[in-house]
Amino acid sequence: MSLMSESELEVALRSIGAERYHNLHPFHRRLHGGKCSLAEVQAWALNRYFYQALIPQKDAYLVARLPTPALRREWRRRIVDHDGEREGEGGIARWLALTTGLGLDRELVVSARAVLPATRFAVEAYVHFCRDRSLLEAIASSLTELFSPQIIGERVEGMLKHYDFVTAETLAYFTKRPPQAAQDSAFALHYVKRNAKSEAEQRSVLAALTFKCDVLWAQLDALWHAYVEGNIPPGAFVPEPCR
């Protein structure tokens, strides 16, 4: 690998998404295509809640390491988006509206005690990555959001069409998210292109995005194994129809 221009680096980043982003995972096709049972959608939402709930933690680790008020303000917006300005607002509250709409007990979801261990390990790996790796790598790992507006569009349309247990109201998380993700990822992409100036830095940036794709993919692999194939590990969520 030799030093890339900014636009070559962007092409390389986008090609990682084209090959590894979790819109390519069979669980996503199953979810959007209306093939999931209620139990599978519940398991997806309950596990994904754990991911959503830890996003502000990883963002706070990132804010803690940004050197200027302007950069910290820019990144702080992400925490506000997820945590809201007051009780009941923000992305996490909207995700809880989804899990509640799907019939899941709020305390069960918030406690995270029934989350798949594989979900926990993957999500915590992401938080630790943003705490422990270089600032450049931490920012680059957020770039999966470059690819999320499209998948969210497909998801909302597919889920509303196929599932009578899903309403536009319970999907409020997803209708709010695409403009935020577009703004966030535009900033992060600009930062990464400007600051990855050596071959080693560019390699680290590509590896960070690959790592993040692995974090998302591993969560869907675990969901599939546990809830589509029916191999629920000890202690994890058991949907009503399986009891």
Given the rule CB under 8 A, which residues bind a copy of itself? 19-20, 26, 116-118, 120-122, 124-125, 128, 210, 213-215, 217-218, 221-222, 224-226, 229, 231, 233-235
Residue 142: DSSP 8-state: G
- State phi, psi for 190 to the nearest 5 degrees: -60, -45
Q: How far is the CB of 222 from a copy of itself (least distance, A)?
A: 7
Query: Do the beta carbons of residue 105 and residue 180 sit within 8 Å?
Result: no
Give 67's Cβ-side CA count (13 Å radius): 3
Q: Of 156 and 215, which CB lies nearer to a copy of itself in the complex structure? A: 215
Q: Phi-psi category of 105—alpha, beta or left, where left has phi over 0 and alpha has psi -120 to 50? A: beta
Q: How far is the CB of 113 from a copy of itself (least distance, A)?
A: 11
CB-count exposure of residue 85 (10 Å: 0-12, 13-18, 19+): exposed
Q: How far is the CB of 17 from a copy of itself (least distance, A)?
A: 11
Q: How far is the CB of 219 from a copy of itself (least distance, A)?
A: 9
Q: Of 65 and 120, which CB lies nearer to a copy of itself in the complex structure? A: 120
Q: Of 98 and 222, which CB lies nearer to a copy of itself in the complex structure? A: 222
Q: Nearest CA to 179 among 144, 142, 138, 148?
A: 148
Q: Of 188 and 215, which CB lies nearer to a copy of itself in the complex structure? A: 215
Query: Do the beta carbons of residue 203 and residue 6 sit within 8 Å?
Result: no
Q: Of 96 and 116, which CB lies nearer to a copy of itself in the complex structure? A: 116
Q: How far is the CB of 239 from a copy of itself (least distance, A)?
A: 18
Q: How far is the CB of 138 from a copy of itself (least distance, A)?
A: 16
Q: Of 63 and 127, which CB lies nearer to a copy of itself in the complex structure? A: 127
* Residue entry with tokens 């990144």: 75
Sign of CA dihedral 60, 62, 67, 73: negative
